[in-house]
Amino acid sequence: MAETEAEVLREADDKMKKAVSVNLEELSMIRSGRAAPSLLNRVTVDYYGTQVPLNQVANLSVPEPRLLVIAPYDPNSIAAIEKAILASDLGVTPANDGSVVRLAFPQLTEDRRKELIKVAHLRAEEGRVAVRGVRRHAKQELERMKKDGTLSEDAERGAETELQKLTDRHVAEVDKNLQHKEQELSEV
């Protein structure tokens, strides 16, 4: 339990930063027609009976803007890597030459771009909701402290004003990340 309004605000700021960071990661998972190793962050490979993140069983590189090359450390894992990519929601078909797996990302259609922009808006809204949830919890903590008599009414009002400034700043950061993703998706 936080003991002072400064601690409540500091804790809220940390949690809001984490929410923005998670949201940025969620946005980076949305495919924009460019190859990026981060697109494979959630892909896990069945490696000798254990689910292992793809980036732990292979080297990922981007030799061209629309090509991702996966070079497995163990050549016997190529089939498992292909299977994991096909099972993922990437929407690309892997091609292998026996030593590496290549993922060619096709040009996005206009309809697909619009669809992905809608998904990005949903992810950004989830980020805003997470930030507001942190604000709500911090505000409840401040109200509890006022009720307990450890915080004066003026101090509570001042802390709530600061809390709102923190919230606005972090929501603006989420919006900025969304705007950047929209630009990326709109590039032809």
Q: Is the pLDDT of residue 2 over 50?
A: no
Q: Is the pLDDT of residue 49 over 80?
A: yes
29, 42 contact by CB (below 8 A): yes
Same domain, 24 and 91: no
Distance CA(140)–CA(102), nearest Å, equals: 51
Same domain, 100 and 122: no
Q: Is 29 helix (H, G, I), strand (E, B) or coil?
A: coil
The number of distinct structural domains making up the chain is 2
The domain that contains 163 carries what CATH number? 1.10.132.20
The model carries a pTM of 0.71
The count of residues in the chain is 188
Domain boundary among the residues 47, 70, 104 is at 104
Domain boundaries, position 157: 5-29+109-186
Average of per-residue pLDDT values in the chain = 88
Q: How far apart are the first and last CA of the chain?
A: 51
Pairwise pLDDT comparison (129 vs 66), residue with the higher score: 129
pLDDT confidence tier of residue 33, bands split at 50, 70 and 90: low
- The pLDDT of residue 65 is 82
